Amino acid sequence: MKNGLYSIHVSLQDGRSGKGSGVIMFRDGQIHGGDAYLFYTGSYTVKDDAFKGEVLVQRHTSSPDASPLFGGPNPVGIGVSGTFTDTRGIMNGTALVGKASQIFGATLHKLADVD
């Protein structure tokens, strides 16, 4: 993944419904990001135009009106992989939420370069 700040738009797959959006930064093998209720931290590796990594999603704000995709009271581990160009990426992942796996797809759009 090219170093940068990206918008991320997630959709659940495998017959489940749910969507989420946020921002995520890929920088020198580290992942940081968040949205209105969750924050993400992790790491990734790159080979050619593909990447893979691990992300931990944790809730920072609770709301009785919102139900974030991966936002339970406990941190959620996610394995991700994808491909990228200079300005976009496609990512797939599997989140282990409690004892259930949630499969998702995401699109990434570069918003800004980072040093």
Range of the domain at 101: 4-112
Q: How many domains in the chain?
A: 1
In the prediction, which pLDDT does 64 show? 78
Ordered per-residue pLDDT tens for the chain, 115 residues: 899 999 999 999 988 888 889 999 999 999 999 999 999 999 999 999 999 999 999 999 887 777 777 767 789 999 999 999 999 999 999 998 778 889 999 999 999 999 8
CATH value at residue 54 = 2.40.128.380
pTM: 0.90
- Cβ atoms of residues 67 and 38 within 8 Å: no
Query: What was the pLDDT predicted at 71?
Result: 63
Q: What is the pLDDT of residue 91?
A: 97
Cβ partners under 8 Å of residue 43, min gap 6: 29, 30, 31, 53, 54
In this prediction, residue 29 carries a pLDDT of 97
